[in-house]
């Protein structure tokens, strides 16, 4: 494990603050002396030097998540989130100077304080004999809220599932369009193994003001489950010693094979629960005609909705997103993901 250079890490923190506060006059940065955040002796200082970034996601300049490892401890850090519920197997920790320096220098969040607030603080006491560094409680308020959660025995494959849990714990803040029923179903998805669930995509979708983004992320989860089911079947029949993702990618790159979308969606929905399909159709304001196959009809409507959201075609312009009950639609789609996952994924 490479050791982190403390001086360089602190320099990165204050360079972020300088770019923010002197954006209109970069020349004002000249002759500013060395600055640093005070770190506590012992564990905090050890993390400053040795905590290694293993995974991260940037949802926006002010919302970021990362995982740092040191020894057998995993440190999941969130920037710009305010989790309102506890995360299983994670314990929130107080953020001291060393870990604060690590998080800011590695994840580079955009400061949220005003330029005057930043300048007044970061230049205080510089070039004086009494300067001993800035306290963490002084620097931390200049950035979006930073939280650190520790856990043990969390495999790397779980990283984005944990990120998704942290994001879900935050979306109950005022202004979120996601209601409690949908949030509950998304929390159930977050309990699934990362196999065939694109948690990275789901994380981003939660913070999009357009609710169709969550539907499309859940739709991509269904696509992943279809690819998983066929790739694992091929692996079993040919005794292939590769992951399902590698096999699916190789099939597309080598043979240009990929599933035909509407028929493959129909095949996948045969693992769904009819109640979920009826809920989806009701959210779209659709009523199934008599003597019509529920699965085929649902697959066609779902596929048409997906096309209307991602393509421009003249006949799609009649689609009115304001007539869709997005919470109920996403709730139904989330339940499809859950029930189909339970049916086809062998864990």
3-class DSSP state for residue 214? helix
Predicted local confidence at residue 174, as pLDDT: 66
Sketch the domain layout of the chain as residue ranges.
Answer: 6-154, 171-344
| Distance separating alpha carbons of residues 331 and 268, to the nearest angstrom | 18
Long-range contacts from 197-205, C-beta under 8 angstroms, 24+ separation: 197/161, 197/221, 197/224, 197/337, 197/341, 198/224, 199/160, 199/161, 199/163, 199/164, 200/57, 200/160, 200/163, 202/164, 203/57, 203/59, 203/65, 203/160, 203/163, 203/164, 203/167, 204/57, 204/59
Give the pLDDT confidence of 285-327 residue by residue, as tens digits: 998 998 899 999 999 999 999 988 886 654 555 678 889 999 9
User: Does pTM top 0.95 for this prediction?
Assistant: no
- Residue with token string 């739709």: 219
Predicted local confidence at residue 31, as pLDDT: 46
| Distance separating alpha carbons of residues 287 and 278, to the nearest angstrom | 9
- Stretches where the chain sits below pLDDT 50 are 24, 27, 31, 314, 347
Predicted local confidence at residue 320, as pLDDT: 81
| Distance separating alpha carbons of residues 158 and 222, to the nearest angstrom | 19
């Amino acid at each position: 494990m490479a050791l982190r250079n403390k001086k360089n890490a602190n320099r990165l923190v204050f360079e972020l603050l300088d770019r923010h506060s002197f954006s209109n006059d970069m020349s004002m940065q000249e002759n500013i002396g060395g600055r640093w955040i005070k770190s506590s002796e012992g564990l905090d200082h050890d993390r400053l030097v040795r905590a290694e970034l293993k995974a991260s996601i940037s949802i926006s300049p002010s919302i970021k998540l990362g995982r740092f490892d040191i020894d057998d401890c995993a440190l999941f850090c969130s920037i710009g989130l305010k989790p309102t519920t506890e995360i299983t197997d994670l314990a929130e920790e107080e953020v001291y100077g060393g870990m604060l320096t690590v998080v800011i220098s590695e994840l580079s969040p955009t400061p949220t304080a005003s330029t005057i607030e930043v300048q007044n603080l970061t230049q205080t006491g510089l070039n004086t004999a009494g300067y001993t560094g800035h306290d963490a409680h002084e620097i931390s308020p200049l950035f979006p809220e930073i939280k650190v959660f520790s856990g043990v025995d969390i495999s790397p494959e779980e990283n984005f599932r944990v990120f998704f849990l942290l994001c879900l714990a935050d979306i109950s803040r005022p202004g979120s369009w996601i209601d409690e029923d949908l949030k509950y179903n998304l929390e159930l998805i977050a309990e699934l193994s990362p196999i065939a669930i694109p948690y990275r995509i789901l994380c981003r979708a939660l913070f999009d003001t357009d609710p169709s983004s969550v539907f499309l992320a859940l739709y991509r989860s269904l696509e992943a489950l279809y690819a998983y089911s066929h790739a694992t079947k091929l692996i079993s029949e040919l005794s292939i010693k590769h992951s399902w993702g590698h096999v699916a990618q190789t099939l597309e790159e080598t043979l240009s094979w990929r599933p035909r979308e509407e028929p493959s969606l129909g095949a996948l929905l045969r693992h769904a629960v009819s109640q979920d399909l009826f809920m989806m159709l009701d959210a779209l304001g659709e009523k199934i005609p008599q003597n019509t196959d529920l699965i085929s009809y649902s697959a066609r409507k779902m596929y048409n909705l997906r096309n209307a959201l991602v393509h421009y075609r003249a006949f799609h312009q009649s689609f009115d997103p304001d007539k869709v009950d997005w919470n109920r639609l996403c709730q139904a789609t989330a339940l499809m993901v859950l029930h189909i996952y339970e049916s086809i994924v062998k864990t």
